[in-house]
């Protein structure tokens, strides 16, 4: 496949090559959804440069699938160095706009949102998405009840949480009272099948409203309930539990969200931070990619 992609770069206008390239890039993206295959793909040094070249091919479908693959393969520093974040934003907004109301393309719409999450953690892409009016279409996914609560609304809330770290975006979201009302309702849901939706809504509501209140109320604490609070990504749980157990063995009083807090997650974490003398941040790629971890930090 890599050899074939290489040959298509020499003849980009060939219709047969274009059709085959679209198919191969779609298959490559499907492979990135499997962790073991994705890890192997990351060891192929020629793959990322080749996909970057594919983003310059004059075919929007090829550009999209190349970006979707790159979002899975590239590290944070690589994405920061990408020359044209405005193009990434433009391609995604274009395809999301095309598919959002087309029932025949529902699966593609879900996939587009999911892959956009890989880019939205990075400031350059955030800025471009906001500049190109992405907030309007994302808000639509929350305020209209027709959208799937798990496949659409959870993902969109996490994208919006990432965007809310931009002051301009947070102002726009706070001023939309219809949107705020909807996320308040979602954050108070008690349906056991929708805990991810509740957590995502509660996290965004915290960022937009309660974080400012918590900072304003914070005072100097002379005595702490915990010596150390451990902030970590749950994908790194095994090693962080080892750190926790060792610290406890050494006599420290440690707070750690072992089972992922339920209910008012951000309030519980904020209280733990305020009542801890030290906060140990277990930094990793998965930590940096998590909007919830960003909120903790």
Give the pLDDT band of residue 159 (cuts 50, 70, 90): very high
pTM of the model: 0.78
Taking CB atoms within 8 Å and a gap of at least 24, the contacts of 18-21 are: 18/59, 18/62, 21/54, 21/57, 21/59, 21/62
Alpha-carbon span 194 to 239, nearest angstrom: 28
- The pLDDT value given to residue 174: 93
174 contacts: CB under 8 Å, gap ≥ 6: 180, 208, 209
CB 226 within 8 A of CB 277: yes
Beta bridge partners of 252: none
Return the residue matching tokens 């904020």: 270
**Cβ contact 20:4 at 8 Å:** yes
pLDDT of residue 25: 86
pLDDT-wise least confident of 43-57, 160-174, 281-295: 281-295
Model confidence at 294, pLDDT cuts 50, 70, 90, reads confident
Which two tokens mark 58?
């004059």
pLDDT band at 257 (very low <50, low <70, confident <90, very high): confident
Question: What element of type H or E holds 6?
Answer: helix 2-10
Question: Contacts by 151-154 with C-beta closer than 8 Å and gap 24+?
Answer: 151/110, 152/109, 152/110, 152/113, 153/186, 153/197, 153/200, 154/196, 154/197, 154/200
The pLDDT tens digits of the residues spanning 201-216 come to 988 998 888 776 665 5
The total number of residues shown for the chain amounts to 297
For each of the domains in the chain, give its residue range(s) and CATH number, in order of start: 226-296 (3.40.50.10140)
Question: Please, what is the angle between helix 167-175 and helix 123-131, to 10°?
Answer: 40
178-192 pLDDT tens trace: 999 999 999 887 676
130-150 in b/e form (b: 16+ CB < 10 A) is: beeebbeebbebbeeeebebe
Statement: residue 1 has pLDDT above 90: no
- Mean pLDDT over 29-52 rounds to 87
Question: Is pLDDT larger for residue 272 or for residue 11?
Answer: 272
Work out the mean pLDDT of the chain and round it to a whole number: 83
CA pair distance 205, 266, nearest whole angstrom = 10
Q: Is the pLDDT of residue 222 over 70?
A: no
Mean pLDDT within 149-172: 93
Residue 9 has pLDDT above 70, yes or no: no
pLDDT band at 142 (very low <50, low <70, confident <90, very high): very high
């Amino acid at each position: 496949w890599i050899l074939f992609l290489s040959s298509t770069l020499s003849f980009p206008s060939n219709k047969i090559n274009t059709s085959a390239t679209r198919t191969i890039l779609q298959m490559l993206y499907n492979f990135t959804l499997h962790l073991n295959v994705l890890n192997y793909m990351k060891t192929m040094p020629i793959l990322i440069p080749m996909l970057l070249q594919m983003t310059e091919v004059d075919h929007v479908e090829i550009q999209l699938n190349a970006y979707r693959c790159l979002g899975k393969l590239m590290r944070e520093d690589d994405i920061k160095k990408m020359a044209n974040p405005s193009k990434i934003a433009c391609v995604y907004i274009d395809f999301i706009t095309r598919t959002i109301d087309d029932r025949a393309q529902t699966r593609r719409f879900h996939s587009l949102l999911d892959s956009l999450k890989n880019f939205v953690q990075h400031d350059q892409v955030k800025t471009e998405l906001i500049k190109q009016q992405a907030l309007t279409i994302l808000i639509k996914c929350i305020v209209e009840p027709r959208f799937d609560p798990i496949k659409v609304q959870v993902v969109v809330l996490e994208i919006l949480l990432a965007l809310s770290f931009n002051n301009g975006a947070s102002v726009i979201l706070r001023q939309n009272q219809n949107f705020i009302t909807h996320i308040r309702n979602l954050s108070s849901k008690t349906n056991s099948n929708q805990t991810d939706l509740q957590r995502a809504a509660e996290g965004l509501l915290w960022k937009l409203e309660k974080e400012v209140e918590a900072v304003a109320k914070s005072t100097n604490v002379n005595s702490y309930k915990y010596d150390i609070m451990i902030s970590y990504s749950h994908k790194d749980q095994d090693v962080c539990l080892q750190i926790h157990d060792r610290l406890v063995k050494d006599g420290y009083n440690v707070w750690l969200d072992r089972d992922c807090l339920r209910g008012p997650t951000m309030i519980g974490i904020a209280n733990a931070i305020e009542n801890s003398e030290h906060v140990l941040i277990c930094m990793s790629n998965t930590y940096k990619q998590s909007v919830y971890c960003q909120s903790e930090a």
